[in-house]
Amino acid sequence: MVFNMLKEAALRQTIATHLPDFVLPEIEAIRTEVSREVNQQRPTLFCPPIGHAQESGDCQNSWQPQAMPTALLQASQDMAEKDTPNLEGAGLFGVDFFVTRGNVTFSEFSHRPHDTDMVTLLSLNLSEFDLNACAKFGLPIPLIEPSEAASAVVLATQEGVHPRYVGVDQALSVPGKDMRIFGRPSIRS
C-alpha cells in the first residue's frame, strides 16, 4: 500500500483496515500524533493464574497454573481488563483476587514484577521480568507457554548474617528439577 502518511484520514483508514499492533514508520513523514495514539493502545494479555498460599498475611508458596472454574477465571479477567487501562504506562501489572467457591473479589494491583510471582521464572517461557521488559520497550510478546512449577518461601528460624542453605545438592539431584534461591545478606526470624 502506498499513500501519504502525512494525510491523517488515509493513515487512520489504513490502520483501521489492517489493525496493526504497532506502527513503525521508516521515515519521519507521518502524522506522529496518530502513530503515538496507535502505539499506546496495547492489548491486555493474560498468563495462566498463579495460586498463592498465605499464612499470617505473608505468601508462603506459589504455583502456576492455578486451576480455576471457567466462570471465575473469566470474571477475574474481565475485572482486570476493565481496570488496568486506567493505570498509566505500559508494563506488567499483577492483579490479585481472592477467589472463593463462587466469587471473585479484587484485592490489589501490582504495577511491577512481584516477589510472589517469581514462580514464573520456571513456569513460563517468558518470566514476569521478561514480560515486563517486552511491554515497557514495545517488543512483541510471543505466545505465552506455561508449564507446571511451584515456589516456596524459606523462612528464617534465627537471626544472622550470610545465611547458608542446606539440602541444595539433594534437591538438584532430582532429574528435571531446577532451583533458584533469592536471599538477603542478613536474616531475622
Amino acid at 103: N
> Locate cell 538477603: which residue?
184
pTM for the full model? Answer: 0.69
Q: Where are the alpha helices (DSSP H) in 40-126?
A: 70-83, 120-123
| Beta strand ranges found along 37-122 (DSSP E) | 51-55, 58-64, 94-99, 104-110
Ordered domains of the chain (ranges, CATH): 8-39 (no CATH), 51-187 (3.30.470.20)
CA 182 → CA 60, 63, 179, distances in Å? Answer: 14, 17, 10
**Residue 163 exposed, middle or buried by CB count within 10 Å (0-12, 13-18, 19+):** middle
Task: Give the Cα separation of 54 and 60 in Å (integer).
Answer: 5
pLDDT of the chain, 189 residues: tens digit per residue: 777 878 888 888 888 888 876 665 555 566 666 666 665 667 788 999 999 998 887 888 999 999 999 999 999 999 998 887 776 667 788 899 998 888 999 998 887 788 888 899 999 999 998 998 888 778 888 888 999 999 988 777 788 888 878 888 998 898 987 777 877 778 776
Task: Report CA 123 to chain centroid distance, whole Å.
Answer: 12
Compute how many other C-beta atoms are within 10 angstroms of the C-beta atom of residue 58: 9
Compute how many other C-beta atoms are within 10 angstroms of the C-beta atom of residue 93: 17
Q: Where are the alpha helices (DSSP H) in the chain?
A: 8-18, 32-39, 70-83, 120-123, 128-137, 168-172
Task: Give the Cα separation of 2 and 120 in Å (integer).
Answer: 43
Amino acid at 132: N
Task: Give the Cα separation of 114 and 92 in Å (integer).
Answer: 10
- At residue 98, φ and ψ (nearest 5 deg) are -95, 125
